[in-house]
């Protein structure tokens, strides 16, 4: 497969991930967040199981299959609760109170927070360029949350959805760092699969508390289509494309394409949801994405030297 083909796949994956913010806005008015989280991963697990059974996915280059052992269970409990359950409960909750544009822009800070957490835990130093990129992205997020209104900072009247999305982004950053530190030897396919399964187990009591039998029959077709979109395209296909890219062009270059997600989200939110794209949002998006790119490129240069 040519590198140009891989680049095209990653652009498409970024578009699929951006679509999850739009699909989430379609579903949260009809499906409570715990049930929505369960459904997203239920369909994703079904598809991944079929990929394994029929398509032969999940085996390494030698055809060996990953074996789940007792020592792996605490790891998957953590990734399932923090990375999948924690992130998605907060993510879907945020979409009730804020726009898809704001959620995607705040989520774009994830690489920065991952870099910070990894640096703290691994006791590594940040370069001056990385620090500059981190500050730039933080300024962008603050401007996003406040709407570039300084009075919001003094009065502490923040949008609830934006603050909840910050919590979701932090959960995902912790999940990413923990997976890299403790997930050595676990193939990416199975790390994702068992994290999904773990999430389904722990979210089940919350689903029962929401009494899905009282509303399941009233969910419109558009919401079901959105759930399937998040399961098939944002979770499974997007993930598979990312894994192909990581093997072909490496994780560093692959991660750069994630910065396209807020750009695509803004375009889709305006076209599909009719959200307003204010000039300040373009400025804050540029600050966040530029800061992330500076930080990522600086980190990559340090690895190469």
DSSP string, 217-254: GG--HHHHHHHHHIIIIIIIIHHHHHHHHHHHH-HHHH
Label residue 99 by pLDDT band (50, 70, 90): confident
Compute the average pLDDT of residues 14-25.
93
Q: Which residues contact 216 (CB under 8 A, 6 or more apart)?
A: none
125 φ, ψ (degrees, to nearest 5) = -90, 150
Q: Which burial class, exposed, middle or buried, applies to 249 when counting CB atoms under 10 A from its CB (0-12, 13-18, 19+)?
A: middle
Predicted pLDDT at 79 = 93
CA distance 294 to 137: 10
**For residues 158-168, b (16+ Cβ closer than 10 Å) or e, as one string?**
ebebbebbbbb
Mean pLDDT of all residues in 206-213: 96
Where residue 139 falls (left for φ over 0; alpha for ψ -120 to 50; beta otherwise) is alpha
Taking residue 103's Cβ as centre, other Cβ atoms within 10 Å add up to 29
What's the domain count of the chain? 1
pLDDT score, position 302: 54
Give burial (CB, 10 Å; 0-12/13-18/19+) of 4: exposed
Does residue 100 contact residue 269 with C-beta atoms inside 8 Å? Answer: yes
Q: Please give the residue range of the domain that contains residue 166.
A: 3-304
Report whether pLDDT(44) > 90: yes
Question: How many other C-beta atoms can be found within 10 angstroms of the C-beta atom of residue 113?
Answer: 21
Q: How far apart are CA 205 and CA 215, in angstroms?
A: 17
Share above pLDDT 90 across residues of the chain, in percent, rounded to a whole number: 39
Which 3 state secondary structure label does DSSP give 65?
Answer: strand
How do residues 121-169 score in pLDDT, each as one tens digit?
Answer: 767 677 778 788 778 777 777 777 666 665 555 554 567 888 999 999 9
């Amino acid at each position: 497969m040519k590198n140009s083909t891989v680049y095209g796949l990653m652009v498409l994956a970024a578009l699929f991930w951006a679509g999850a913010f739009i699909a989430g806005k379609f579903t949260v008015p009809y499906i409570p967040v715990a049930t929505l989280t369960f459904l997203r991963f239920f369909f994703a697990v079904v598809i991944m199981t079929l990929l394994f059974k029929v398509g032969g996915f999940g085996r390494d280059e030698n055809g060996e299959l990953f074996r789940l052992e007792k020592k792996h269970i605490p790891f998957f409990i953590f990734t399932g609760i923090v990375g999948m359950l924690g992130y998605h409960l907060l993510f879907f909750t945020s979409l009730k109170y804020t726009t898809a544009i704001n959620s995607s822009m705040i989520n774009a800070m994830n690489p920065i927070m991952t870099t910070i957490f990894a640096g703290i835990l691994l006791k590594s130093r940040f370069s001056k360029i990385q620090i500059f990129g981190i500050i730039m992205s933080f300024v962008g997020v603050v401007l996003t949350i406040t709407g570039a209104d300084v009075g919001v900072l003094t009065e502490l009247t923040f949008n609830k959805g934006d603050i909840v999305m910050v919590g979701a982004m932090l959960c995902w950053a912790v999940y990413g760092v923990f997976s890299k530190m403790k997930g050595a030897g676990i193939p990416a396919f199975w790390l994702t699969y068992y994290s999904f399964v773990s999430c389904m187990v722990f979210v089940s009591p919350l689903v029962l508390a929401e009494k899905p039998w009282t509303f399941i029959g009233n969910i419109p077709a558009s919401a079901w289509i959105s759930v399937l979109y998040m399961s098939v395209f944002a979770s499974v296909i997007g993930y598979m494309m990312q894994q192909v890219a990581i093997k072909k062009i490496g994780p560093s270059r692959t991660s750069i394409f994630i910065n396209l997600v807020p750009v695509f989200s803004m375009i889709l939110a305006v076209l599909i949801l009719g959200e307003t794209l204010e000039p300040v949002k373009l400025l804050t998006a540029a600050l966040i994405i530029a800061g992330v790119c500076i930080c990522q490129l600086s980190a990559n240069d340090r690895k190469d030297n």
